[in-house]
């Protein structure tokens, strides 16, 4: 196979992993009101179907990252995809066979979350291993775009599957996982590298000591990524409820409407990833500007209730999210050597998952409190992340003693 074609298949296989990952939450968003009606649970209990998936993933992601550094990326991704699919089967069969399936559905979602822990964050670390320089930023941008593409099609797919039966989406997960697994096994060739023989305790101690030096800008970057996912899934939860309750829009129409802001985010992610290269100043500017766009858009939403103006303003926040996420991916992945890349991208993946986890339940409470208050809180949080990124994220690598030296992350590779 020609080298260029082989590389294209490799990128496709790696992009399938974040696409499959995001289906885990986004595909269920349009189904949640129907699930609530069929199972007889509350809105808060329904939101836990999203939350427990994300929380379990967030808890296990650091372990997956460490294992991928100690062994190989594929040794973690392959069983993780299998667990992801099995969790979908458990939830689907419980919904089909049991008269009170709710807690079994949650068990399946937790298993899916554990599987998800070893997918996209580890695939991001693998992209950092296989690609360098501007090509690395482009591939990471494509992976973020693939993640966004999954968000675009997932509400449509979820609405389509729900036309058959509300729990059909659960049975779709193992099919998608199998496709991704086959692509990954056939087309991704991981480079051989030495095992990290450090104990987990020593490894964690090195990580913590390094965060004392590099932690300020990493904290700002992690927070920005988490805010993007928190607001995204919170707003999607809000829109799903409003479309069905206030406008009686259901099914495919609802899925198509939910896909609109996600389409803007995906397109922007693709363009951003292809343009930023490896220039940290450009990355920082994109992150700060994107967060300011989100803050302005969310705050302005308090003045718009009709669907067309509302989604027009919301699209601005989606463009902002598309500017932020690919730059954070490149900034973090490019700053970490392969010996520690898995754990650091895993920690970043954890905070992203936690953002997605708490979005729906928090917005469920905010919706009951005040619509205007909900959007003001969202705008204020985005503004806080923007200011923190402006102050703490470095536009350039810091030099020491008058010349550029290795960052503490790079020194890890020598330990």
3-state secondary structure string across 258-309: HHHHHHHHHHHHHHHHHHCCCCHHHHHHHHHHHHHHHHHHHHHHHHCCCHHH
Residue 141 and residue 330 in contact, taking contact as beta carbons nearer than 8 Å:
yes
In angstroms, the Cα distances linking 217 to 221, 222, 223, 261 are 6, 9, 10, 29
Q: Is the pLDDT of residue 263 over 70?
A: yes
Q: Is the pLDDT of residue 28 over 80?
A: yes
Q: How far is CA 88 from the centre of its chain?
A: 19
Which domains occur in the chain, in start order? 3-184+198-412 (1.20.1250.20)
pLDDT tens figures, 210-224: 566 667 888 899 999
What's the token pair of residue 302?
């308090």
Residue 216 and residue 392 in contact, taking contact as beta carbons nearer than 8 Å:
yes
Residue 409 and residue 343 in contact, taking contact as beta carbons nearer than 8 Å:
no
210-213 contacts at long range (C-beta below 8 A, 24 or more positions apart): 210/408, 210/409, 210/412, 213/408
Residue 351 and residue 226 in contact, taking contact as beta carbons nearer than 8 Å:
yes
- Kindly provide the b/e burial profile for residues 105-136, where b requires at least 16 CB atoms within 10 angstroms of the residue's own CB: bbbbbbbbbbbbbbbbbbbbbbbbbbbeeeeb
What's the token pair of residue 390?
């402006």
User: From the CB of residue 397, how many other CB atoms can be counted at a distance below 10 Å?
Assistant: 12
Average pLDDT over residues 52-70: 81
Average pLDDT over residues 372-381: 94
User: From the CB of residue 210, how many other CB atoms can be counted at a distance below 10 Å?
Assistant: 19
Q: Is the pLDDT of residue 400 over 50?
A: no
8-22, 140-154, 187-201: segment of lowest average pLDDT: 187-201
Determine the Cα–Cα distance for residues 389 and 23; give it in Å rounded to an integer: 29
Q: Where are the alpha helices (DSSP H) in 189-250?
A: 200-246
Report which listed range, 6-15, 48-57, 234-243, 282-291, is most confident: 282-291
Determine the Cα–Cα distance for residues 281 and 378; give it in Å rounded to an integer: 26
What's the token pair of residue 245?
């309750």
What's the token pair of residue 310?
């509302």
177-181, 376-380, 395-399: segment of lowest average pLDDT: 395-399
Give the DSSP letter of residue 210: H
Report which listed range, 23-32, 42-51, 181-190, is most confident: 181-190
69-73, 221-225, 287-291: segment of lowest average pLDDT: 69-73
What's the token pair of residue 50?
């999203």
Determine the Cα–Cα distance for residues 186 and 178; give it in Å rounded to an integer: 12
* pLDDT bucket at 405, cuts 50 / 70 / 90: very low
Element (H, E) at 50: helix 43-70
pLDDT tens figures, 227-258: 998 998 888 888 888 887 888 887 778 778 87
Q: At a CB cut-off of 8 Å and minimum separation 6, what does 47 contact? A: 32, 237, 360, 361, 364
Burial classification of residue 166, based on how many CB atoms lie within 10 Å of its CB (0-12 exposed, 13-18 middle, 19 or more buried): buried
pLDDT tens figures, 311-320: 999 999 999 9
Determine the Cα–Cα distance for residues 9 and 126; give it in Å rounded to an integer: 15
Percent of the chain with pLDDT over 70: 85
Give the DSSP letter of residue 403: E
Percent of the chain with pLDDT over 90: 27
**Across the strands, what pairs with 404?**
399
pTM: 0.70
């Amino acid at each position: 196979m020609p080298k260029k074609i082989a590389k294209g298949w490799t990128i496709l296989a790696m992009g399938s992993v974040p696409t499959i990952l995001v289906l885990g939450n986004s595909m269920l968003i349009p189904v949640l009101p129907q699930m609530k009606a069929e199972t007889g649970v509350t809105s808060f209990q329904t939101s836990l179907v999203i939350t427990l998936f994300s929380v379990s993933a967030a808890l296990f992601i650091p372990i997956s990252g460490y294992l991928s550094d100690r062994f190989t990326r594929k040794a973690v991704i392959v069983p993780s995809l299998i667990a992801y699919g099995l969790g979908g089967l458990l939830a689907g069969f419980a919904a089909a066979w049991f008269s009170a399936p709710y807690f079994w559905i949650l068990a399946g979602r937790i298993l899916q979350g554990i599987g998800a822990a070893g997918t996209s964050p580890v695939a991001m670390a693998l992209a950092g291993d296989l690609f360098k320089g501007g090509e690395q930023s482009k591939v990471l941008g494509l992976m973020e775009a693939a993640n966004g593409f999954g968000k675009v099609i997932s509400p449509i797919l979820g609405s389509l599957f729900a036309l058959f039966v509300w729990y059909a989406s659960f049975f779709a997960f193992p099919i998608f996982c199998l496709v991704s697994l086959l692509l990954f096994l056939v087309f991704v060739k991981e480079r051989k590298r030495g095992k990290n023989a450090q104990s987990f305790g020593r490894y964690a101690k090195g990580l913590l000591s390094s965060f004392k030096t590099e932690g300020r800008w990493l904290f700002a970057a992690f927070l920005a990524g988490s805010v993007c996912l928190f607001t995204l899934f919170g707003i999607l939860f809000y829109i799903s409820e409003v479309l069905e309750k206030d406008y009686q829009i259901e099914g495919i129409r609802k899925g198509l409407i939910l896909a609109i802001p996600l389409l803007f985010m995906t397109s922007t992610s693709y363009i951003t990833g292809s343009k930023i290269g490896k220039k940290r100043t450009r990355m920082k500017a994109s992150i700060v500007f994107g967060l300011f766009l989100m803050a302005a858009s969310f705050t302005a939403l308090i003045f718009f209730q009709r669907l067309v103006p509302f989604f027009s303003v919301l699209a601005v926040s989606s463009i902002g999210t598309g500017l932020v996420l690919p730059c954070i991916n490149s900034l973090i992945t490019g700053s970490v050597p392969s010996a520690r890349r898995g754990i650091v991208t895993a920690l970043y993946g954890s905070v992203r998952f936690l953002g997605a986890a708490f979005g729906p339940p928090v917005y469920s409470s905010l919706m009951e409190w005040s619509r205007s208050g909900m959007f003001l809180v969202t705008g204020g949080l985005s503004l806080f992340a923007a200011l923190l990124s402006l102050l703490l994220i470095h536009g350039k690598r810091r030099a020491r003693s008058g010349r550029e030296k290795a960052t503490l992350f790079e020194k890890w590779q020598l330990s």
